[in-house]
Chain A
Amino acid sequence: MKNELKDVLNITFSAPEPKKKQMFLKNLRPSEISTLEMLCRQAGYIRGTVWIFAAAVIVFVLFGSWKQLPDTQELVPEIMPFLAAVSVLENRRSRKYGMIELEMVTRFSFKSVLFARMLIPGITCLVILAVASPVIAMAFGGETLLTAMHMLIPYLVTMSICLQVERSPLGRRLEYGSLAASALISVLMIWIKNYAAALVNGYAEMIRDWGVLIVLILAMVTAFEQWRTLNSTEEPAWNYQ
């Protein structure tokens, strides 16, 4: 349509200047939502690959336990570092891009939203542990708590390292630094298992004696690293708000 006609239409459909617009827009606030609803919405933004990977771990555990595949018990702890890396990478994605999911920053603080993004993969991991530990323990004979600790320790170690990597200047430049770190940990675990039997035995003994304490310390270290990561977002939070 020619511009003249557009002008004509603009004149014809012009409306009187609204009187209450500025006041209304100034006071416009999003509707209140509960924390649980916020978590559910944030879960919707997490990439499918995270869920697929988590589901694949559970399927592997169930299938391996059902078929009594001999490597299942040992492979699961070696997979856990990747689960940690995927969680951290998801968090990185949230911080890196324009982040449609951070739209909620007006209702919840930037930190709350990022915390939710860390919490959701964490809960997923707990679900995996809750499923995998008893299943593996029952299938291969062993204590559920010990099995859980065998899986949890590599996860927490990797998580702490990955969070540090992500905050470091080098890690910020490297897109998949966390993934590389988790691969390194996983390879190291495989190497120790194959070539350092004494270390493996020592590790197993240590877990049996001090496992709970080690897990607690690692959990505190991970929580501290997450706290530091959340605090490091102070500056971007100002920019987004």
Chain B
Amino acid sequence: MDLEVVYDKIYRYVYFKIKNQSIAEDITQETFLRFIRQKGNIHDFQMKYLYTIARNLCVDEFRRVKPDSLPEDIDDVSPAQEDHLTEQIAVREAVAKLPAEDQELLLLRHVNNESAGTISKALGISRFALYRRLKKAEDELRAGLEACGYEK
């Protein structure tokens, strides 16, 4: 897998957990360095280990981290942009209503496109539990999107 793709996946995952850009990036890099120290190579990144390392680092950092403040340059927006932003906010709210564990699953499976095997090993759950929780999360997300009037 391309190194940049791996980096982006881990960064996205860490950012989802930490919600702080610079710390997320620091943790991503620390994840890579720890993996290399342990495994010694940079060609065969095993995602399950990377996620596990990243997860543990996030746990370590979690209490010290404050979420990034919202960007300040959103005062002057066109009506079209405003509609888009409103829609995004609605979508984010629907996702935010899901439990954090379900959000994590959706991120790993549908955004980072990880295999069920990788996710189940990284999170320490069985494949059966993974499929069950994933299905439930998808159904809840659909219901949440319908409730907030999201159409596409």
Contacts and interface: CB of A to CB of B under 8 A. Distances in A.
B16 A25 contact: no
B95 interface: yes
Top-6 shortest CB links A-B: A15-B15, A103-B43, A12-B95, A4-B152, A16-B21, A13-B111
Contacts of B68: 16
Given A12-B92, A21-B7, A1 B12 contact: no
Contacts of A70: none
Contact of A11 (B15, B44, B88, B106): B88
Contacts, number: 91
Interface in A120-154: none
B141 interface: yes
Size range of the chain A interface in the assembly: 20 to 34
In this complex, the member of A9, A10, A25 whose beta carbon has the largest number of chain B beta carbons within 10 angstroms is A9
12 contacts: A4-B152, A6-B110, A9-B106, A11-B88, A12-B95, A16-B68, A19-B21, A20-B25, A20-B29, A25-B4, A25-B7, A30-B40
A201 interface: no
B41 interface: yes
Interface string A1-45: 100111111111111101111001100111101000000000000
B32 interface: yes
A5 B141 contact: yes
A171 to B, nearest CB: 30
Interface string A84-110: 000000000000000010011010000
Contacts of A33: 40
